[in-house]
Each structure stands twice: as C-alpha cells, then as structure tokens.
C-alpha cells in the first residue's frame, strides 16, 4: 500500500488543471463549460450524467495489449489500474457486455483512468479522478458516470448499483471540494440519482400491478372455465395454483421494498408460470419440472411381474451338455490346476532358479 501511495503522490503534480480537463475519447456530452444545471443529469431522453464517491480503491485489474480491461491474472499484462468499489459493482450489475475498453490509460496514479462499457444498447463511460487530498487516499477519488441509451436500462442499472453498494453514492467525503469538482450542489446530485431510482421503482411496480390485475381476472373467470369444455382442467388444482401465484406476488412486493430487483424478477417469473398453468386457455396443464418428476415415478411404466419372472427363469439353468469352443490342447480344467503350476515355467524349471550373471568380471 505504501508503494501505491507514493505513486499517487508523484502523479499529483498539477492536478488542479488535470481534474478539469476532458477525458480522451469519452462520450460527446462531456463538456467542461457545462453549467450547474447540466453538470448533473438524471432523467433525460438520451443521456444521464452522475457522480459517485469512491470508498475503496481495489480491486486491481490488468490491461491487455488492445487496451481492454482484464482480470488481474491475465497473462499478457500491459498495465495495471485500481478499479474501485463503484466501478466494480457497476460491472457486476451491468450484465453481459463486451470487455471494457480503457480509453484513458493510467499513469503513475493507477486510480486515474477512463473506462467505456457497452453491450451494443447501453454505453457507460466511467472516469476516475481525485478531487481532494492529492489522491493520497481512496476517499479522495470520485467516478464520473455518463450513461447513453434507453432510459429504462439507465434507471434500472443505477437502481441496482445503489442497492448493491449499500450506501448513497452521491454522498461526498468533502463537500466543498466535491461541489467544486462536479460543478453542482449536493442536492442536485441527490435529485438526479433519486430520479432514476424512482423511475426504475415505478417501472417495476407497474409490472407487479400488471400481474396482480391478471391474477384477479383469472379468479373471476373460474366459473366460466368450469362450465366450458377444457379437458384435463380441474378447478381445485387451478385455484391452488392461483394461491401460489398470490404468494409469489407478495414475495415480489417484498423484494421491491428491499430494493432487490433480481429477487423481484424471479418472483414474478414464478407467478407468471403458475398463472399460465392455471389458465385453461393456454393449454398448459403441467409445468416442465412436474413432467420431469413424473418420469422418475415407479408406476409410470406398468410391468407384468409374472411375465417378467417367466422370461428371467427360462434360461436360469444351462443344458448339461455344452460343447467346448476351444481346442482340447488349449482348454485346461480349473480342477487340474495346482498352486505350484503357477510358479513354474514352460520347461518345468522353478522360476526362482534364474541363472545369475556376474557383471563384475567384465569390469
């Protein structure tokens, strides 16, 4: 850690000008002449611009020959950078994506860099730099996050990021330097983050209401389904499935309250599966897992035990006369074999009487 601190101290000369310089090859929306109103962007049709306080500098990552971010154990290393807890969590929440591209290589200060993450639909540019204390501590750094893509994806990613961090990323270590570096008051930062989180929360809440409305319609249609012609459908089994769907829906509401988007999606998926199985118009009576379990039951295939016993006992006893298929000179009865026969050679000489050759004479 001491070596890392010294490297940071040597790289902080002239940081005042470098902190306000634009990152190389970053999103076009990054402009040094932004006003306080535009420095932080939450809900916007095209782009969001947020700032996050870094608390931890690790993990250390490797840069390959093509400038892509790799794991620390990557064999072909062309540089090392410290990713930080914010960007590490962002990568885990992003989902499937291309290897992140390091557009600004770190110098002596390995926590000063710019990374671009994309999956073809959403593009996220993260810029790490220090804003106080000459970068001697991890808390001296901030991450500027610029998101370009669909609003639903942007809001959901920031929702997951905040939940996974377990803290408010807009809360700065030193407020006065934070305001100077970002060009906005803390209230602006808090409002932008909360706008996106509220949008994601509203979208997931709408999904819960959609499933609840469909579940209510299925309950009200039970009489109609019972009077209709639906072979294989039973009302009691369908009502039990709807009861399970209600439980999964309650689980989804609890997951949303806990800001657990992944748990919410899984609960809604189970709710959807139960409703599809209970609805006779979908022509789905049993789930794939239940059909697989049926194949493992012993009574799935009926077997006549009497016929099976006759087939097994038909060849239980072999005929008395069995012709040998090997020549008489080769076939040997096991009753004629003695233990000493296994210890002798072909010429009836004991195996132990092997001629001894004295190699000392040749020397």
Q: Considering only CA atoms, which of 342, 323, 339 is closest in space to residue 331? A: 323
Q: Domain residue spans in the chain?
A: 2-174, 200-294
Question: If you write DSSP's letter for every residue of 292-346 in order, what string do you get?
Answer: HHHTTSGGGS---HHHHHHHHHTTSS--S----SS-TTT---GGG--GGGGGB-T
For residues 196 and 202, give the distance between their C-alpha atoms in angstroms, rounded to a whole number: 10
Please indicate, yes or no, whether the overall pTM of this predicted structure exceeds 0.95.
Answer: no
Average pLDDT over residues 8-30: 37
First-last CA distance in the chain: 66
Task: Give yes or no for a contact between 119 and 96, defined as CB atoms under 8 angstroms apart.
Answer: yes
Long-range CB contacts (< 8 A, 24+ apart) of 28-36? 29/146, 29/148, 30/125, 30/127, 30/144, 30/146, 34/183, 35/183, 36/183, 36/184, 36/185, 36/188
Kindly report, residue by residue over 255-273, the tens digit of the pLDDT: 999 999 999 999 999 999 9
Look at the block and give the residue holding tokens 């934070």.
Answer: 178
Helix/strand/coil for 96: coil
Task: Give yes or no for a contact between 200 and 156, defined as CB atoms under 8 angstroms apart.
Answer: yes
Task: Give yes or no for a contact between 147 and 198, defined as CB atoms under 8 angstroms apart.
Answer: no
pLDDT band at 73 (very low <50, low <70, confident <90, very high): confident
For residues 91 and 70, give the distance between their C-alpha atoms in angstroms, rounded to a whole number: 12
Kindly report, residue by residue over 145-189, the tens digit of the pLDDT: 999 999 999 999 999 999 999 999 999 999 899 999 999 999 999
Average pLDDT over residues 208-233: 92
20-29, 36-45, 122-131, 185-194: range with lowest mean pLDDT = 20-29
pLDDT band at 348 (very low <50, low <70, confident <90, very high): low
Any alpha helices (H) in the chain, and if so which ranges?
A: 2-11, 15-19, 36-39, 85-94, 151-165, 175-182, 186-220, 222-227, 235-257, 261-278, 288-294, 305-313
């Amino acid at each position: 850690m001491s070596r890392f601190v010294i490297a940071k101290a040597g790289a902080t000369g002239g940081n005042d000008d470098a902190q306000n310089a634009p990152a190389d090859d970053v999103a076009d929306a990054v402009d040094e002449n932004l006003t306080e109103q535009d420095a932080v962007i939450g809900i916007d049709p095209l782009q969001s611009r947020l700032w996050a306080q870094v608390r931890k500098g690790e993990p250390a990552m490797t840069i390959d020959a093509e400038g892509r971010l790799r794991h620390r154990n990557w064999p072909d290393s062309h540089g090392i950078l410290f990713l930080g807890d914010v960007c590490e969590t962002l990568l885990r929440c992003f989902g499937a994506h291309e290897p992140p591209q390091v557009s600004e290589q770190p110098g002596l200060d390995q926590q000063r860099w710019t990374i671009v993450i994309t999956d073809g639909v959403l593009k996220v540019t993260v810029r790490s730099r220090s804003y106080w204390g000459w970068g001697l501590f991890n808390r001296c750094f901030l991450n500027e996050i610029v998101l370009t893509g669909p609003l639903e994806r942007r809001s959901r990613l920031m929702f997951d990021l905040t939940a996974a961090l377990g803290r408010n990323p807009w809360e700065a270590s030193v407020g006065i330097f934070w305001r100077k570096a970002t060009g906005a008051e803390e209230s602006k930062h808090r409002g932008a983050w909360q706008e996106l989180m509220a949008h994601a929360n509203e979208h997931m809440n709408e999904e819960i209401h959609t499933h609840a409305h469909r579940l209510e319609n299925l309950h009200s249609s039970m009489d109609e389904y019972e009077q209709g012609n639906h072979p294989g459908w039973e009302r009691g089994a369908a009502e039990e499935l709807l009861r399970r769907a209600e439980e999964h829906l309650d689980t989804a509401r609890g997951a949303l309250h806990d800001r657990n988007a992944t748990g919410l999606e899984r609960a809604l998926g189970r709710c959807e599966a139960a409703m599809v199985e209970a609805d006779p118009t979908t022509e789905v009576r049993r789930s794939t897992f239940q059909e697989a379990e049926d194949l493992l039951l012993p009574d799935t295939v009926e077997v006549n035990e009497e016929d099976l016993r006759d087939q097994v006992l038909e060849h239980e006893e072999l005929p008395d006369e069995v012709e040998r298929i090997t020549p008489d000179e080769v076939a040997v009865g096991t009753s004629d074999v003695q233990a000493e026969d296994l210890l002798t050679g072909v010429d009836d000489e004991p195996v132990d009487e092997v001629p001894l050759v004295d190699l000392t004479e040749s020397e």
